[in-house]
Structure 1
Amino acid sequence: MESTDIPFTKQMRKATREIHDVSDALVNAKLAVALSNNSVWAEGLLIFYEIFRYLEEAMDRLKDTPVGELKFDGIRRTEGFKEDLDYYLGENWALSYTPRESVMKYLMHLRDLEASDPEMLMAYIYHLYMGLLSGGQILRRKRQIVDKYLPSFSSNNRSDKVTEFGEASISQLKKQMTTAMNNIAESLTPEKREKLIEESKMVFILNNEIVRTVRGTHWVILTKLIVAAISVAMVSFAVNYALRKK
């Protein structure tokens, strides 16, 4: 058990560092393609839409418990997810949508936690929202850079409501989330804190399972390699032709 002198959020990060690194590598490998491909970006949104929606509804249901203390103005993302999915998939996408098996497994785990030990949901709320406020913002900026400096690799038409927090300060939102989690932890028993730390590992295990199901990444990478190869071949042909003309 970590010393209580160390902020609880730092204890969570330390305990999950190894699995978190695996998760980051997987997200980078899968969703980096989404920097220039909207269909892959929409796939990424789709797998997390139900998870965020469940957590936000749970925060409402549990508003009078410690779970509800992690809900504050500007953090809700469900509408942002829906707006982006409406943009990329069409407004009627939900009519024929069925969550994939890995997402249903994730949701069942969250439901079991809410029924048996709802405070464990705080591990998911903390890590997922901090993910949007950290890695999500990095992906947002990278997509903007691709649009600006590599227009030939850009889809140009974007909807990034899920990573847009309006006038709210990202650093302030992160500070609010961290402070709230640390304050709540002070009121928990050592056993409950240890259990939350262990559940934090499951957050990334389940995240990795659903991220692995993102489709389309291999085809997009292959297409770009083909385009790049053709471009190199054309340049080589042009240079050789110019040399022969001399």
Structure 2
Amino acid sequence: MSVIEEKPLASENNVEEKEKVGADDYVDMKFTRELRKATKDVHNLSDTLINAKFAFALSDDEVWYDGLLAFYEVYKFFETHLPERLLPKELYRAEAFEKDFSHFYGADWKNTYEPRESVKKYIAHLEKVAAQNELLLFAYAYQMYMALMSGGQMLQKKRMIARKLWVFSKDSDQQQKQAEADAAAAIATATAAANAGEGVIDEEDLQARPMPAQVTICPPGCAATFFPMKISVLKSKLRRVFNEQYGKFDDELRAAFIEESRNVFRLNMDVVRTIKGVNRANLKKLAIAAIFISSIYLAIKLAMK
């Protein structure tokens, strides 16, 4: 499978924009937009499933850790099968996942751990892909680490706020309240911008999209989504790897890369459906909400008598 001659990824027209965002964070988004457009339908389907399944459940420990456990083998596979030129070591997550599992399941969690069938099928597919071309395996890694640095950050922030897992000293209540307020505001801003219509942000202007509020502290059990480095720098670094490779693909390899990028979301949905405790957690949250609303209603009725 041949590749075409490498072409410059940034033109002179990009110089002013590059100076604006900073040399460390700037990446030409041409190829990113192309890939995003090609995977948009299956990506949206995956998001719909996740949003419906985890409407109220992600602050529940059992759901959160089973979700991490479900994808642990996938991330570990990338980190043992891709060279550092395709997957920088700063992104490695397997050790962090294991640290979280030890916190929640206990130090001997591996003694009873068995990958679920959907994960075994996922790994079997990744093995076939890796044997065919490591660049096609990178298609999976690119999507999965970008997801962890985007949606994963936002979900952990919401979870930490809901679970009050912030780690501060006893005399820093004001600092804690300010941190929670800042995190909530950042999440609201990012969500509003992502859902806004024309005039706020161009959906295809990926460079201008707001970054999710980064998890900047690491309480016990939150290592998987904690990145010591600035998330925008890590994402830019991974995008540069993607650009360097994708820009040299011939039509055949580019088509195969896009197809495997679509398969990421298909296989992820199969795994997401196996995560335990979701229905129980959602029902519990709905029941609490119903009791709360009923209590307010009764209190108002009694006050009016």
> Would the TM-score normalized by the shorter structure come out above 0.5?
yes
Q: Is the 8 A contact 2:66 2:275 kept in 1?
A: yes
Cα distance in 2, alignment partners of residues 31 and 227 from structure 1:
16
Cα distance in 1, alignment partners of residues 87 and 101 from structure 2:
23
2:36 matches 1:49: no
Q: Is the 8 A contact 1:35 1:146 kept in 2?
A: no
Aligned counterpart, 2:294: 233
Cα distance in 1, alignment partners of residues 231 and 89 from structure 2:
12
Aligned partner letter, 1:230: I
Aligned counterpart, 1:153: none
Cα distance in 2, alignment partners of residues 94 and 182 from structure 1:
38
Q: Is the 8 A contact 2:139 2:261 kept in 1?
A: yes
Aligned counterpart, 2:190: none
Aligned counterpart, 2:226: 164
Q: Is the 8 A contact 1:11 1:197 kept in 2?
A: no
| Structure with the higher helix share, 1 or 2 | 1
TM (normalized to structure 2)?
A: 0.69
Aligned counterpart, 2:45: 22
Aligned counterpart, 2:34: 11
Q: Secondary structure at the match of 1:16?
A: helix
Q: 1:73 to 1:103 in 2, by over 3 A?
A: closer
Q: Is the 8 A contact 1:77 1:162 kept in 2?
A: yes
1:42 CA displacement: 0.7
Q: Is the 8 A contact 1:42 1:85 kept in 2?
A: yes
Structure 1 segment 107-118 matched on structure 2, within 5 A: 107-118=123-134
Q: 1:242 to 1:115 in 2, by over 3 A?
A: same
Aligned counterpart, 1:195: 256
Pick aligned residue for 2:265 from 177, 192, 204: 204
Unaligned runs of 5+ in 1: 151-156
Q: Is the 8 A contact 2:56 2:285 kept in 1?
A: no
Aligned counterpart, 1:120: 136
Q: How many residues align?
A: 227
Unaligned runs of 5+ in 2: 1-6, 10-28, 165-176, 181-218
Aligned counterpart, 1:106: 122
Cα distance in 2, alignment partners of residues 15 and 30 from structure 1:
25
Aligned counterpart, 2:209: none
Aligned partner letter, 2:225: T
RMSD: 2.2
Aligned counterpart, 1:145: 161
Cα distance in 1, alignment partners of residues 55 and 74 from structure 2:
21
Q: Is the 8 A contact 1:15 1:197 kept in 2?
A: yes
Q: 1:34 to 1:85 in 2, by over 3 A?
A: farther
Aligned counterpart, 2:97: 81
Single out whichever of 44-53 and 227-236 deviates more from structure 2. 227-236
Aligned counterpart, 1:154: none
Q: 1:32 to 1:49 in 2, by over 3 A?
A: farther
TM (normalized to structure 1)?
A: 0.84
Aligned-residue identity in percent: 39
